[in-house]
Amino acid sequence: MSENKGIFLNGKNQAIEILRHLNQSEKGRILDNLKLRNPSMAYELLVNSYTFEDIMHSEQNTLGTVLEYASAPIIGIAIKFLSKDFQKKILKNMNRVKAEEAFQVFQTRNTSIDESTKAQEKILEIASELIKRKIITL
């Protein structure tokens, strides 16, 4: 007879993951309904459900602000496996010195996909914090 070892499920994190995979219309509909019952939960899920791609597709000034708060090495690692167009877009949204440093890391560091994903997650954390502090909106 097997014993239940106690599986822990975090519903909030699961909801965030589901929202990240929905299109904007579906995500908006779900969050609007939740907002009627629990506005603070809806806001928290919204802020935490953005993806790195959402940041990349945001307005130029929003992207620039996020990049100001992220370190050049993190940015260089995060863009390693992106398309050339996105790499250029990101580097063009940075001040020259920081862009050159990020490009140097991008060019010289042997980065794994896992490291790049972690760097993208770090940028997402920065963006989430900027949203919570009302410095940016997406």
pLDDT in tens, 74-118: 999 999 999 999 999 999 999 999 999 999 999 999 999 999 999
| One domain for residues 45 and 55 | no
Question: What range defines the domain where residue 31 resides?
Answer: 7-49
pTM score of the predicted model: 0.81
pLDDT in tens, 18-66: 998 998 899 989 999 999 999 999 999 998 899 998 888 899 999 999 9
Burial (Cβ within 10 Å: 0-12, 13-18, ≥19) of residue 49: buried
| One domain for residues 34 and 73 | no
| One domain for residues 74 and 134 | yes
Q: Which element (helix H / strand E) includes 42? A: helix 39-48
Write down the pLDDT at residue 137.
87
Q: How far apart are CA 19 and CA 17, in angstroms?
A: 5
